[in-house]
Structure 1
Amino acid sequence: MGAPTSFDSGELASLVLAEQLRTNLMADVSHELRTPLTVLESNLRAALDRVMPLDEAEIANLYNQTRHLTRLVNDLRELTLAESGHLPLEKVPTDLKALVAETIQTLEPLAMEKSVTLADEMPLLPQVTIDPFRIRQVLFNLLTNALRHTPASGTITVNGQASDAWITLSIQDTGEGLEPEQLAAVFNRFYRADKSRSRETGGTGLGLAIVKAIASAHGGEVEAYSNGKGQGSMFSLRLPRE
């Protein structure tokens, strides 16, 4: 028999973390995929049995279910990679003001559809060394979350500031706001502040968890603030300048 394998405390901690992430992933996949897969199976079975003909509306519904499943699987994969420290980052010096402007421009049609104003108040800041693709994803997730929770005639404002060591971006909305217990849970996987929102209308439930994981992968952090229901919310993203 060979000698028993020994691990130092760091290796053991990494193994424990990897196993916990694997267990969490399998539990999440099982829980979150069950409902949409059941809907797909039952609808297709009804069509095969000619109980329910597949008209255009039903085909569109099934297509939307498959799109949601695809988004969910992709989001779970990215989140697991980020949380395990294996998300590839291609860091380059980046102009955050330009990155914010591009992201706002992408979401402007959705904001107009919801009658919500996207206010770009970003000052000119020093360049920061980040993966622009991943931080654009963070901005997109934070802004779409704000749009989801801000009523018509509301405003979402993006601002930023620099210190010697950090660049801080803030996204503030005039939306629904959050209670203290919601603030503590808002970055958890599959957490939805509004329980009445379906998976289809409320996204995959992973957007803010991905935001936190990508921020951490950059050596940064993200926090949520609110004075309570009806008082709006602010999400603050801090990134190291180097």
Structure 2
Amino acid sequence: MKKPMSLRLWVTLLCAALLTLCCLLLTVTNNFSAIRMADAIQAVPLLPAQSAELEGGVSLPMAELNVSDTIQQAQGTFHMQSLLAMVAILALGLFLIYWLVGKALAPLDTLARQIRERTAADLAQPVEIPDSGDEVAALALAFNQMSQRLNQVFVMQKNFSRNAAHEFRTPLAVLKTRIGLFRKKQDFHPQATLELLQIVEGEVDRLSAMVGGLLELTNLERASCGEQLSAGQLIRSAADQAAPQAEARRISIFVDAAPCTLAGNAELLRQAVYNLVENAVKYNPAGGAVHIAGRRDGEWFQIVVADQGPGIPEELRQRIFEPFFRVDDSRSRQLGGAGLGLALVRAIAEFHGGTVRIEENDTGVGSRFVLELPLFFHK
């Protein structure tokens, strides 16, 4: 592969071509003006030669002046001096251009060296931003921002791999242990066999739920988004779906939704709202309440789900939207779920051009999830 030309050399050659053109035009113009001036001088009529008388009556004629030869000699000298001056000025100009371009691009070379030395382990460490305030400083700032985003992606990928391995390992370990005990005891009575099958079925369902959640996360781009749906009906549908689970724990669900029309995929949006409501019911204390509100805010529609649960620590409020992340592993497993509900909510919100975030509840108890969706959405 041919080695590309450096930016410094490219700028120098470009300036050299322009400087050479300017010098040539200046030299040609000067020489043309000099020739015209010499021709004008040569066209001036000269007085005839006269004789001078010396003592003794001897006369000596004056030597005729060869004006034409003198003018041609002067023109040749002028041409040579012009060419030499042009070469000297051009050489000096090229040297100054090369030096100045190298000095101007020195911060870019420094930045390139720092970028080449960057690895996945130190992406979070920013590169030095020069104080010049020019395009190089803007480039360094943009690289730092990109590095931060890439570092966040790598961290999320690492956490996802660790959490996914942990989630899949648990049901597989349960299955392996139960099957091993069943084989060791050699107890093939119908009751023991039925208990083993129930355990196997439960763990297989858990694995299927996790796989299904991962497939939903990866297949969102194939969904259609041209449906028109009522925001109030969307919220009430999700509340009705979570009602049996709430009634079993004596939890009240209150809905206050303003009339509004949303655009998008009805099934995905219903799934996102239901996941938030189900999460609020699941972590709410028995006998508590869940409040669901829908209101318009400019060109956005906000769906707010507030609970009275234990709340989420501030340092973990961004991580709860990562796949398989759990604030309390033991309690989350007792309550069921694959650990993908909030991750799916964020994916659906971003797919529709919206966002989801968690805030502290106004009462100081529990959490409040805010799902923001654009009113005018086109995919």
C-alpha distance after superposition, 1:189-230 (max 9, x if no partner)? 222122322535241111101100110010000010126997
Task: Describe the SS at the equivalent of 2:257.
Answer: coil
Task: Give the number of the structure whose residues are more often helix, by fraction.
Answer: 2
Q: 1:42 to 1:228 in 2, by over 3 A?
A: farther
Where does structure 1 lack aligned partners over 5 or more consecutive residues?
A: 2-12
Identify the match of residue 75 of structure 1 among 213, 217, 224. 213
Aligned-partner Cα distance in 2 for 1:91–1:22: 32
> What percentage of residue pairs aligned between the two structures are identical?
29
1:206 aligned residue: 340
> Does 1:106 find its partner at 2:244?
no
* Larger-gyration structure (1/2): 2
Give the aligned length. Answer: 224
Q: What code does the residue aligned with 1:69 have?
A: L
Task: Describe the SS at the equivalent of 1:65.
Answer: helix
1:59 aligned residue: 197
CA shift, 1:48, in A, is 3.0
Aligned-partner Cα distance in 2 for 1:101–1:228: 23
Aligned-partner Cα distance in 1 for 2:181–2:375: 57
Identify the match of residue 156 of structure 1 among 279, 287, 290. 290
Where does structure 2 lack aligned partners over 5 or more consecutive residues?
A: 2-145
CA contact (8 A) 1:178 1:228 kept: no
TM-score by length of 2: 0.53
Aligned-partner Cα distance in 1 for 2:362–2:329: 17
CA shift, 1:115, in A, is 0.8
1:122 aligned residue: 257
Identify the match of residue 188 of structure 1 among 300, 303, 322. 322
Task: Describe the SS at the equivalent of 1:238.
Answer: strand
RMSD: 2.8
Aligned-partner Cα distance in 1 for 2:162–2:313: 27
CA contact (8 A) 1:97 1:122 kept: yes
CA shift, 1:89, in A, is 3.1
CA shift, 1:103, in A, is 1.5
CA shift, 1:93, in A, is 0.8
CA shift, 1:105, in A, is 1.1
CA contact (8 A) 1:91 1:132 kept: no
Aligned-partner Cα distance in 1 for 2:187–2:359: 48
TM-score by length of 1: 0.81
CA contact (8 A) 1:169 1:237 kept: yes
Aligned-partner Cα distance in 2 for 1:174–1:110: 16
Aligned-partner Cα distance in 2 for 1:102–1:185: 28
2:175 aligned residue: 40
Aligned-partner Cα distance in 2 for 1:65–1:139: 27
